[in-house]
Amino acid sequence: MGTWNWNLTNNQLHWSDRQFELFDVPKSKGPIHIETALANIHPDDLDRLLTANRISVEEDVPFREEFRVIHRSGEVRWLLGQGNPLHHGKEGKPSSMIGVNYDISDRKTLELEIAQSNLELEVRVSDRTRALEQEMRQRQKAERALAHSQRFELIGQLAGGVAHDFNNLLAVIGGNLELAAMRTADEQIIELLNDAREAVETGASVNRRLLSFARQRELEPVALDVNDRIIKARRLLERTLGEKIVLETSLSSELCEARLDPGELDSAILNLVLNARDAMPSGGTLVISTRNYVLDDEEVESFPEAQKREYVQVSISDTGVGMAPDVVAKALTPYFTTKLRGKGSGLGLSSVFGFATQSGGFVRIKSEEGEGTIVQIYLPHSATPSGAKMLDDPKTDLLLGQGELILLVEDEEKVRQITHKRLIELGYNVVEATTAAEGTAVLESNHTISLVFSDVRMPGATSGYDLAKWTLENREDVGVLLTSGYNDLSAEEHQNVNLLAKPYSLRILAFALRNALPAPRDR
């Protein structure tokens, strides 16, 4: 601490010895001029210090200010100056000031360290806050993706359940119609029955779309040249679009083969082309393009079905009316449609979604109102292994049995009755069971059975899968054919078991039975 006395009249300072050290000014026995002291004040603090001093004198108030002084060595020291005006003259103005200066360098250093620490802390907090916000956004994105996936999974389960029950009804209706047609020679009645059978086929087609969406219909994937498939379908697509819409293609010359069901690809492209046509009532341009594509990390996070691997991308874009964001969000939902009543089933995009996801891919939609729509199907590279096993197409001639005994296992009574009649019509003998457990018991007691024809999903602890496995392990002389309204055979577990999807025609049933029966030498 150093004391000082400043004569305001002649600007002379009387200092204690300590002040000379603080200001780094040579000691003097007498007073020094104020300019000598001010010469060592830090330039950035000088104006502020003089202003504070002037206010103190003019307003006759105490003086207090923190400031820096610079020593000849370059060292900077912080001082706290405090003073009071004294010796008021005739006009009432102060004639001098007295005060002290304190060396507060240590305190200011500490304050600066604290301020720097606080700043660093604020930076760290800010960085952490941004990181947390980014983490929260990623979590919200993941939650939205999960909710999207769960919603489609729930809808898929519902669609699959409805399709299963509907297929059983179609099996009963179609089977009875076929048997009725075989028992009459009346052409008019046969024509009526054939019309009804066509309606059954239409219902089965709708069901196949539902099961594709639900991922519960097994596909028949093969390594496929997608470009070649599109080129061959072009003429059909042009006729479908009409004269007002121009069809263009942009097909990659280096496109990899994709592993998928050819028929389902044709159906998916046709569905998307029909949607695009309806979105361009006044005409426009439709572009089908292909390319190889590998997703980045952000894209993988955005699509629950996606994986970071190579895809074949099939893109169909139009210059139509486009869709609002809320419509895009619902576009893949079964039975959702923006078309007028009777103009669309609402199963087009959802069946495309089902085909893509069941094939190991996914679907992306980009659309804006007035700007058109782009639907991109991502399909796995042909290196992806196939897990499906399907029956070949039936031969032209109806294949009849030779009196072989078939164990029919079906829990639905109406389905079991019509299937029994159809098996008899095809020349087979039949013994029935209503559950897999009953079927196992029949196989254990009856050694003349040639084939087990069983539904997959039945009540009880055992299913058609379990019955097939037991049969293959314990009755090697017996063939197995499974049928399902879901068409959900797990080929990995039952590679030697054929699957027949409900509903099926008598001709397809005849071929499937012959295909599944063991060779005569094995019986």
Residue 398 lies in a domain: no
Residue at a domain's end among 179, 214, 249: 214
pLDDT (mean) for 66-85: 90
Are both 164 and 268 inside the same structural domain?
Answer: no
What was the pLDDT predicted at 487?
53
What was the pLDDT predicted at 397?
59
How far, in Å, CA of 114 to CA of 119, rounded? 8
For residues 474-496, one letter each, b for 16 or more C-beta atoms within 10 angstroms of the residue's C-beta and e for the rest, the string is ebeebbbbbbbbbbbbeeeebee
DSSP assignment, residue 489?
Answer: -
pLDDT digits (tens, 9 = 90+) for 453-502: 999 888 777 888 889 889 988 998 899 998 887 655 444 445 567 778 78
% residues pLDDT > 70 (the chain): 83
Helices and strands per DSSP (H, E), number in the chain: 14, 18
Are both 249 and 375 inside the same structural domain?
Answer: yes
Residue 385 lies in a domain: no
* Residue from 250, 251, 237, 279 nearest 373 by CA: 279
Is pLDDT at 248 greater than 90 in this prediction?
A: yes
Are both 230 and 352 inside the same structural domain?
Answer: yes
Residue 325 lies in a domain: yes
Please tell me the pTM assigned to this model.
0.45
Residue 390 lies in a domain: no
Domain count, the chain: 4
Give the CATH number, domain containing residue 245: 3.30.565.10
pLDDT digits (tens, 9 = 90+) for 339-398: 544 444 444 576 777 778 777 888 888 888 888 899 999 888 875 333 333 333 333 457
CB 487 within 8 A of CB 515: no
What was the pLDDT predicted at 341?
46
Are both 364 and 409 inside the same structural domain?
Answer: no
Are both 297 and 327 inside the same structural domain?
Answer: yes
Give the CATH number, domain containing residue 42: 3.30.450.20
Return the number of other C-beta atoms located less than 10 Å from residue 155's C-beta: 17
Question: Which range, 36-40, 135-139, 328-332, 408-412, is most confident?
Answer: 408-412
List the domain range (segments joined by +) for residue 73: 2-103
Residue 393 lies in a domain: no
Residue 480 lies in a domain: yes
Least confident of 81-95, 381-395, 419-433, 442-456: 381-395
For residue 88, which amino acid is it? H
Is pLDDT at 315 greater than 80 in this prediction?
A: yes
Assess whether the previous peptide bond of 503 is cis (omega < 30° from 0): yes
Residue at a domain's end among 83, 103, 123: 103
Question: Which range, 26-40, 148-162, 468-482, is most confident?
Answer: 468-482
Residue 25 lies in a domain: yes
Residue at a domain's end among 214, 235, 251: 214
Are both 429 and 509 inside the same structural domain?
Answer: yes
Give the CATH number, domain containing residue 477: 3.40.50.2300
